Amino acid sequence: MQYTPIEKRSGLTREEFLENYLKPRRPVIFTDLIKDWPATEKWTFDWFRKHHGDLEVPLVDNHIHDPDKYFQNAATMPFGEYLSLIEAGPTDLRIFLFDIFKKIPELANDIRFPTIMDGFVKNYKFMFFGGQNSEVNLHYDMDCSHVFLSQFQTRKKIIIFPPEESVRLYQHPFTVMSHVHPLNPDLDRFPAFKKANGYEGILEHGETIFIPSLWWHYIKYIDGGFGLALRANDSVFTLLKGGMNLARHTVVDKGMNSLLGPRWKKWKEDKAVERAESALV
C-alpha cells in the first residue's frame, strides 16, 4: 500500500488550525505544539525510573483485542522495571490508556493544555508506553473525541484513515475495530482494502499528531517509548456518537459475545466482508 504523507507544520496559529484542519477534519503533525511543556525535556526514561520507578503499572499484550479478553490486563510490573524492559528491545507488553496523573498528580504541572482549539477534556489525560515493534491495532476511538497524541524521546509510525473508508477497512459491526493490518494486509482475505486511501507519518520526540474525530489509526512503536494523548470535543454530536458507541460495545457487542461466543465473532466477520464486497462493485 502507498500512503499519503501526513503534513507536518511548525508555528501553526489557532486560526489556521481551525480553518484548515479542524473544520475540514484533516490530520496534521505539529512539530512545536508542546515545545514549552516542561515534560518535553524532563520526562525521560531515567527521570521516571528515578522518581517513580516503584509505581506498580498494569500491562496489556497483543491479546488485548481478543473477543474474550475485552481489555484485560496481562500482568503488572514496577514502573522502573517496565521502562528498562522497553528500553532493552522488542516486547509486546504495553501500558494502555493509563491515567498516570491519578497516581502521580504532580505530573500535571509538566504539561499545558493547548489553546489551539477549545473543548479539551481535562479529566482525561492518558499515557501510552510500548516496546520496540509493539503495535496498536487499527481502530478509531470509542468516545469519538479529537485526539492530540504527543511523543516523547523516541519514535512511532502512525497510519490513519478517514471515516469514509470504514467499509474498506472491514469494520466489525457494533465495534470500533478492524482486523486489517495496514503494514502487511492480507489482500486475499481483505481485497477491498486495496482501494482504501490512508495517510502515514513518523511521530518524533516533541511532535504531536492531531487525529480528527472518527479517524481510524494504527500505531507501531519504532523504538520503545511513550506518548501522551489529550482529547477535545468541538460538537455535542461527537459526545452523542461516543455515548452510542459505548452502548453498542457494553450492551450489544459484549452481551452478544457472552451469549454466542465464536458464533458472534463469525457473524461480525461475515458482515464486514459482505459490506466490503459491496464497495468493490
pLDDT > 60? residue 280: yes
Average pLDDT, the chain: 92
pLDDT in the model for residue 250? 80
pLDDT > 90? residue 134: yes
pLDDT digits (tens, 9 = 90+) for 49-95: 999 999 999 999 875 554 444 455 668 999 999 999 999 999 989 99
pLDDT in the model for residue 82? 96
pLDDT in the model for residue 141? 93
**Burial (Cβ within 10 Å: 0-12, 13-18, ≥19) of residue 11:** exposed
- Average pLDDT over every residue of 104-122: 96
Residues 6+ apart with CB under 8 A from 164: none
pLDDT in the model for residue 70? 47
Rounded CA separation 4/163 (Å)? 16
pLDDT > 80? residue 98: yes
Cα-to-chain-centroid distance, residue 51: 27
Count other C-beta atoms under 10 Å from residue 71's C-beta.
10
Rounded CA separation 281/51 (Å)? 58
pLDDT > 80? residue 220: yes
Decide which of 78 and 245 is more confident: 78
Decide which of 265 and 250 is more confident: 265
Q: Return the C-alpha cell found at 131.
A: 516496546
- Average pLDDT over every residue of 13-41: 97
Taking Cα atoms as reference points, which of 121, 128, 104, 108 lies closest to residue 38? 108
pLDDT > 70? residue 246: yes
pLDDT in the model for residue 279? 79
pLDDT in the model for residue 72? 54
pLDDT in the model for residue 241? 83
Q: What are phi and psi of 84, to 5 degrees?
A: -65, -35
Question: In Å, what is the CA distance from 266 to each residue of 125, 193, 263, 272, 278?
Answer: 35, 20, 5, 10, 19
pLDDT > 50? residue 26: yes
2.70.98.20, 2.60.120.650, 2.60.40.420, 3.40.50.10800: CATH of 4-280: 2.60.120.650
> DSSP secondary-structure letter at 262?
H
> DSSP secondary-structure letter at 6?
P
Q: What percent of the chain has pLDDT over 90?
A: 78
Residue matched to cell numbers 504531536 = 208
Q: What are phi and psi of 265, to 5 degrees?
A: -60, -45
- Average pLDDT over every residue of 2-9: 96
**Burial (Cβ within 10 Å: 0-12, 13-18, ≥19) of residue 2:** exposed
- Average pLDDT over every residue of 104-128: 95
Map out the domains of the chain as residue ranges.
4-280
pLDDT in the model for residue 194? 94
pLDDT > 50? residue 29: yes
Decide which of 73 and 267 is more confident: 267
Decide which of 174 and 239 is more confident: 174
**Region for 242 from its dihedrals, namely left if φ exceeds 0, alpha if ψ lies in -120 to 50, beta otherwise:** alpha
Taking Cα atoms as reference points, which of 182, 91, 75 lies closest to residue 129? 91
pLDDT in the model for residue 258? 87
Give the CA angle between residues 158, 253, 215 to the nearest 5°. 25
Residues 6+ apart with CB under 8 A from 64: 71, 72, 74, 94, 96
Residue matched to cell numbers 459491526 = 173
Q: Return the C-alpha cell found at 187.
A: 489482500
pLDDT in the model for residue 1? 72
pTM for this structure?
0.93
